[in-house]
Chain A
Amino acid sequence: MSGLEARYREALRWYPRSWRDANADALVGTLLDAAESEGREAPNRSDLTNLAVSGIRTRFDTIAGPRVRGIVATNALATGVAFSLTQFFTTSWAPLAEAHHLGIGDRIFGPFLDLGPILTGLWLLALIGAVLHRAALTRSASAALVLVVVAMEVVRNVHYTSGSISQYALLFNAGLGLASLVGSPRDRRSLVLLLAGWFAVFAVIDFSNGVYLTQASIYLWALGPANAAGLTMALASTCLIAAAIANIRQPETAVVILLSSVPWLLMWGAEIVTNPVDYFEFPFPLYGAGLLLVCYGVCVALVHRARSRNSSTRSRP
């Protein structure tokens, strides 16, 4: 191996190992061809910089490529808009909350009972950006949403009022906001279908037992103290479905499911942390945490295995 080749192979350490195993020889061959045509016997700085940048980007793409990130972002945006709009109509907007015979607190501003409409407005801006293919608008609205959530949490801790939003709802919004930032939610049809799906779920729940209207909070529906066990089981089941999908060598779909579940996982974690129970008398949170750890661990391992297999199959000429 020449000195030049050794230098190039050293520079390829920026790339993930699985990628190097499949592509290093071809890439080094091209680098040597280019160096020979330019009469060089040492790598130039721009090549080394380019390899470092490309290698780091490949590492990110190995976890979740642009397509996967786009789907995760689309899921997050649709979920954020659906929950936020439902919360707006059932809880935040006083006239409608009164119509649902809910206990009405003080109006915080205008006809609103809490600070939720600020989040709803930002979610709608992000949605408009996605529908009009204005990625910058979607990104700005999502980033603003995350910052506003952080500000709301700080204010809530300093001065709790009846209009404050619960910690788990804030964390859920922050998680969804961050997830919508990881990619470009450009698929309008998927957005519409997901939104319709969520509203159908809310309608079914409402018509079957009126949970979210009577409790005035879909977040409580999703994760009240009484429902923590339900969400644990839902997350564990989601994980196992993702694991099964990874096992049939569809790792990207499994990654979409796993990443899309993160905001829910955050909300679950917030609930467990902020509502401490006597773990000796009621050890479910500990069992739940253990169960989720095992499920996510198994799923990540299966995704990794499926990717390695697919990668070795693809690189075979």
Chain B
Amino acid sequence: MVEPEVREPTFFVLAALASGAKHGYALIKDTAELSDGRVNLRVGTLYAALDRLQEQGLVAIAGEEVVDGRHRRYFALTDDGEALLEAEAARLEANAKQARAQLRTRYGHARIAAPTGAVS
């Protein structure tokens, strides 16, 4: 079976958990920060994603506490989650490498074509 591509919000949730267990609001802040503000998760969306990631065995509940009368549940990356994040990061790096190689080729062609082109 071909592994489905990891969507950007999921990727950043996993990436945020890579540095340690986090509670819901910390995850929202970290995903926004790691994505330069591109991923702004709403709370309902975050918990839907965490449900799905738990079902896939990529994330697990790491503990709960009550702070100032407010319930906080901590989530952590599992070994499978870490492996998926690692694989996805490698895939993105390989993609970026290919794109840069293609761009270098394009710049190379442009340099060769420039002297003989109509525009000079």
Residues of A within 8 A of B (CB): 23, 25-34, 37, 46-47, 50-51, 53-55, 57-58, 61, 65-67, 133, 186-189, 314-315, 317
Is there contact, CB below 8 Å, between A26 and B73? yes
Min Cβ gap A308→B in Å is 16
Question: Which of B44, B51, B61, B72 sits near A50, CB closer than 8 Å?
Answer: B44
Min Cβ gap B69→A in Å is 9
Identity of the chain B residue whose Cβ is nearest the Cβ of A44 in the assembled complex:
B42
Question: Residues 26-65 of chain B: 1 if any A CB is under 8 Å from the residue's CB, otherwise 0?
Answer: 0010000000000000111111100110110000011110
Is there contact, CB below 8 Å, between A57 and B61? no
Cα A29 to Cα B72 with chains together (Å): 6
> Which residues from B are CB-within-8-Å of A46?
42
Question: Which of B28, B52, B61, B71 sits near A25, CB closer than 8 Å?
Answer: B71
Nearest 6 Cβ contacts at the A-B interface: A30-B24, A54-B44, A33-B25, A26-B73, A50-B42, A25-B71
Question: Which of A26, A133, A188, A315 sits near B24, CB closer than 8 Å?
Answer: A26
B1 at the interface (CB under 8 A from A): yes
> Which residues from B are CB-within-8-Å of A37?
25
Is there contact, CB below 8 Å, between B63 and A28? no
Contact A51:B43 (CB < 8 A) given known A30-B28, A65-B55, A317-B64: yes
Min Cβ gap B108→A in Å is 34
Interface size on B, as a range, is 20 to 34
Question: Which of B51, B62, B72 sits near A58, CB closer than 8 Å?
Answer: B51
Identity of the chain A residue whose Cβ is nearest the Cβ of B29 in the assembled complex:
A37
Is there contact, CB below 8 Å, between B54 and A314? yes
Residues of B within 8 A of A (CB): 1-2, 4, 23-25, 28, 42-48, 51-52, 54-55, 61-64, 70-73
Min Cβ gap B48→A in Å is 5
Identity of the chain B residue whose Cβ is nearest the Cβ of A37 in the assembled complex:
B25
Cα A188 to Cα B1 with chains together (Å): 6
Cα A58 to Cα B55 with chains together (Å): 13
Question: Which of A28, A34, A57, A67 sits near B71, CB closer than 8 Å?
Answer: A28
Question: Which of A23, A187, A314, A315 sits near B47, CB closer than 8 Å?
Answer: A23
- 22 A-B pairs with CB atoms under 8 Å apart are A26-B24, A26-B72, A27-B43, A29-B72, A29-B73, A30-B24, A30-B43, A33-B23, A33-B25, A34-B43, A37-B25, A47-B43, A47-B44, A50-B43, A54-B42, A55-B44, A65-B55, A186-B4, A187-B1, A314-B61, A317-B62, A317-B73
Is there contact, CB below 8 Å, between B2 and A29? no
> Which residues from A are CB-within-8-Å of B64?
26, 317
Is there contact, CB below 8 Å, between A33 and B24? yes
Min Cβ gap A65→B in Å is 7
Contact A186:B2 (CB < 8 A) given known A34-B43, A317-B61: yes
Other contacts beyond A26-B71, A29-B24, A57-B48: 6, CB < 8 A: A30-B47, A31-B43, A33-B72, A37-B25, A53-B44, A58-B48
Is there contact, CB below 8 Å, between B70 and A32? yes
Min Cβ gap A9→B in Å is 12
Identity of the chain A residue whose Cβ is nearest the Cβ of B47 in the assembled complex:
A27
Identity of the chain B residue whose Cβ is nearest the Cβ of A189 in the assembled complex:
B1
Min Cβ gap A43→B in Å is 10
Cα A315 to Cα B48 with chains together (Å): 14
Is there contact, CB below 8 Å, between B23 and A186? no
Among the interface residues B24, B54, B62, which one has the most CB atoms of the partner chain A within 10 A? B24
Cα A53 to Cα B45 with chains together (Å): 9
> Which residues from B are CB-within-8-Å of A57?
48
Cα A57 to Cα B44 with chains together (Å): 10
> Which residues from B are CB-within-8-Å of A47?
42-44
Is there contact, CB below 8 Å, between B43 and A67? no
Min Cβ gap A114→B in Å is 36
Min Cβ gap B16→A in Å is 14
Min Cβ gap A247→B in Å is 21
Cα A297 to Cα B98 with chains together (Å): 56
> Which residues from A are CB-within-8-Å of B23?
29-30, 33
> Which residues from B are CB-within-8-Å of A51?
43-44
